[in-house]
Amino acid sequence: MSVHTLEIDGRMVTALEGETILAAAEDAGIFIPKLCAVEGLSAPGACRLCMVEIAGQNKLRAACLTRAAEGMVVRTETSALREQRKLLVELLLAEGNHVCSVCVVNGYCELQSLAAALDVDHVRFTPRYPARTIDLSHERFGLDHNRCILCTRCVRACDEIEGAHTLDVAGRGRTARIITDLAEPWGHSESCTGCGKCVRTCPTGALFLKNKPAAEMKKDSGFIRQIIAARREKIWI
Amino acid sequence: MLTRTVVVDRVTRIEGHAKISLSLNEAREIESATFHVTEFRGFEKFCERRPYGEMPAIMSRVCGICPISHILASSKAGDMLLGVHPPPAAVKQRRLANYAQILQSHALSFFHLSSPDLLLGMDAPAPKRNLFALLEAEPDLLRRGIRLRQFGQRVIELLGGKRIHPSWSGPGGVDSRFPHAHREEILAWIPEALESVSIALQRLKPLLDSFRPEIENMGNFPSLFLATASDSGELEYYDGKIRIMNSAGEVLADFLPERYFDHLAETASSDSYMKAAYYRPLGYPDGCYRVGPLARLNIARSAGTPRADRELAEFRQRARGPVCESFLYHLARVIEMLHMIERIEQSIDDPELFGEPVCAHASLNAREGVGSCEAPRGTLFHRYKVDENGLLTKADLLIATSQNNRAINMAVEQTARHFIRSIPAGGAPADGDLNRLEAAVRCYDPCLSCSTHALGRMPLTVEWFGPDGKLLGSLARGAA
Ligand code: SF4
Ligand code: SF4
């Protein structure tokens, strides 16, 4: 397998053939903000937070979708990029109902920590305060649409890893939302195996364990990488 | 040279903010006084349509000083929604957290908020009656107060993982086993903590003699008392019946906390957002009662720990029957601190504290849940109604400060009438007497942001009105 050498933020980095800029950067310990990409799941390139500048290209590129190439010169942190990321996070915050202080993942939320990292101390847009619902019909899990940022991580984890495809997105634009089966209450779903992969992959408090005290839900989507590796190598812990 | 002016006004020493208005008659004598809280309500509304599992965390945000009490009441309401009894290890962890929290909250109230008045004197000029002055005059005592708070907070941190707003407890129990390794650390704090509280007691008890006028005239009146009561008659903070006693020491009622609303009601007061609670059979205002340290010591037959029992016996000698002087809340608070330390010591000697399981798992089995516990300031009740999926349709909180509201008003009025008496035209109450007004409120250690279920702090304002209701003058304290 051929290996490329490229420059990210002034550092020489190697990438395997086919590897994305995001993966190469992460391997080298360079942090690029992201909300929808998860190692081991397909990348929809939806959140646009991982956009980077590539020398010689006049368009910004999503690091999760762009393959690393020999001699590439990538910049992940410029003031323009930072400003754009900040704007995106503010839009996400204004779009839903995010009250961190009472959220189940307060302190462990990827949206919250990204907002903090980008110094989002206020939102410049008028919040929409949409009237959204909470589905608590499942025996163990809850889905709070107020906190959903439509990153589709749960949809992909359910489809690509669990193989159940219980979850999907219905509607378009501002009416888009996560549904279970044919938009039935989750508790009525026949396809859901109750594995909980969606809950663990969700970057926000939208998917949560019922009865779990707030701020106690540490999530870690790293388990997906382990499952994939285990299936490939046929080694399970 | 760089100079910095630090303005510490006395009102910065009450949590939250409030207003006192004095009504004068034709002779410009004080007729009545009212204690208003001018904050917004809203936490109950905020809970509606939220899942019950989130309540402990939401409720822990009601108050930054006593989050544990709200978490406990909320978790217990959650236990009832699930229809379970949490395992013993969970109950013991929750109890330990409550002891630690009462200790740290009382330490704040006594050493930081009230001791400037107690140790430096009510009439000391404001610049000489604040924490900085106290730090100069009594560095050791203040340091001990800070350490006591740290001890309480450390125990909470060991249990809950985070100093403020820990959320390790929820419906059914707690989140994880309490590691035995923490025992040594807690144990190591005990001797110093006991010593600090004994020193505080030795300082406070003789001092009380110099506060005779305050003890007798700053909220000294008969009233009912309410607290959690155990079958053994020992001080109880987590589980048990709710007992109501009158000032003659007669038990008027014992009832289950789950039915508190059958026995207790709240008025909506027009001039304040804060409600006042009363015992239904006697109506308002005769049924008004007091909660908190004084009520607990009055209602318990014994403390149940040796040191606190000795102090309680001495405390009892201050009255025939229940102690009615609001000023002695301070003493009751220090005795409770002693008791809390002894209870913490007992708790960590109980192997069940470190045991498993820690949570009873179940799904929703009831549509209504009630939880109660003793918070530092008094008995706390949470009551939730949920729909079939467990989303809240209604949340009711009955908190300590609104149960003490009427008593606080009476204490303020008594203080104003006795100490200020009258305000001549163009005059204003003397500084020391204004301070007594606030000190009357502070006996109850009211946490106003909690009692009005909103966040935020603002200063206290004192206004006085003529018989026609016309504003004659005002003083805003803390509006620096
Ligand atoms: S629990 Fe598992 S099967 Fe059910 S929706 Fe989530 S990922 Fe899909
Ligand atoms: S529920 Fe969570 S994982 Fe699913 S789309 Fe919404 S935010 Fe993303």
pLDDT per position as a tens digit, A176-190: 999 999 999 999 999
Question: Which atom belonging to ligand 2 lies closest to the Cα atom of A35?
Answer: 8
Residue A124 in contact with partner chain B when CB distance is under 8 A: no
**B9 or A49, greater pLDDT:** A49
- Tell me the mean pLDDT in the region A95-104: 83
Query: How far, in Å, is the centroid of ligand 1 from the Cα of A192?
Result: 5
Which one of A135, A210, A215 has the shortest CB-CB distance to B57? A215
- How high is the pLDDT of residue A71? 95
- Integer Cα distance of B174 and B160 in angstroms: 9
Tell whether A237 lies on the interface with B, counting CB pairs under 8 A. Answer: no
- Name the residue among B58, B168, B390 with its Cβ closest to that of A136: B390
Judged by CB atoms closer than 8 Å, whether chains meet at B57 and A137 is answered as: no
Distance CA(B448)–CA(B461), nearest Å, equals: 14
Mutate to test the interface with A, among B54, B55, B59, B82 (most CBs of A within 10 A): B54
Q: Check pLDDT > 70 for residue A27.
A: yes
Please tell me the predicted confidence (pLDDT) of residue B167.
67
Query: How far is the alpha carbon of B154 from chain A, nearest alpha carbon, in Å?
Result: 19
CB B408 within 8 A of CB B62: no
A chain contacts of residue B78, beta-carbon cutoff 8 Å: 211
- Using only the alpha carbons of chain A, give its radius of gyration: 19
For chain B, 480 residues long, give each residue's pLDDT as a single digit of tens.
Answer: 344 433 333 333 344 456 788 999 999 999 998 887 644 456 777 788 888 888 887 777 766 667 899 999 999 999 999 999 999 999 999 999 999 999 999 998 899 888 888 888 888 876 777 778 888 888 999 999 999 999 999 999 999 876 555 568 889 999 889 999 999 999 999 999 999 999 999 999 999 999 999 999 999 999 999 999 999 999 999 999 999 999 999 999 999 999 999 999 998 755 555 678 999 999 988 999 999 999 999 999 999 999 999 999 999 999 989 999 999 999 999 999 999 999 999 999 999 999 999 999 898 999 999 999 999 999 999 999 999 989 999 999 898 888 998 999 999 999 999 999 999 888 888 888 888 888 888 898 876 544 433 222 335 678 899 999 899 988 876 533
pLDDT for res B14 = 43
Dihedral pair phi/psi, residue A150, rounded to 5°: 55, 40
CA dihedral B70, B72, B74, B75 (to 10 degrees): 150
Tell me whether 0.85 is exceeded by the ipTM. Answer: no
Q: Does residue A105 line the site of ligand 2, with CB under 6 A?
A: no
* Ligand 2 and A180: CB distance under 6 A: no
The nearest CA of chain B is from the CA of A91 a distance in Å of: 24
Parse chain B into domains and list their residue ranges: 4-41+408-477
- Residues A211, B56: C-beta atoms closer than 8 Å: no
The residue of chain B nearest to residue A138, with distances taken between CA atoms, is: B389
Inter-chain residue contact A212 with B162, CB threshold 8 Å: no
B-proximal residues of A, 38-97, CB under 8 Å: none
Nearest CA to ligand 2 atom 7: A148
Q: How far is A171 from chain B (nearest CA, A)?
A: 24
- Please report the domains of chain A, with CATH numbers, ordered by start residue: 3-77 (3.10.20.740), 83-232 (3.30.70.20)
Cβ distance A102 to B57 less than 8 Å, yes or no, reads: yes
Give residue A146's pLDDT band: very low, low, confident or very high (50, 70, 90). Answer: very high
Q: How many Å apart are CA A34 and CA A110, to the nearest integer?
A: 9
Q: Is A163 in the pocket of ligand 1 (CB under 6 A)?
A: no
B287 and B279 in contact (C-beta within 8 Å)? yes
Residue A205 three-state SS: coil
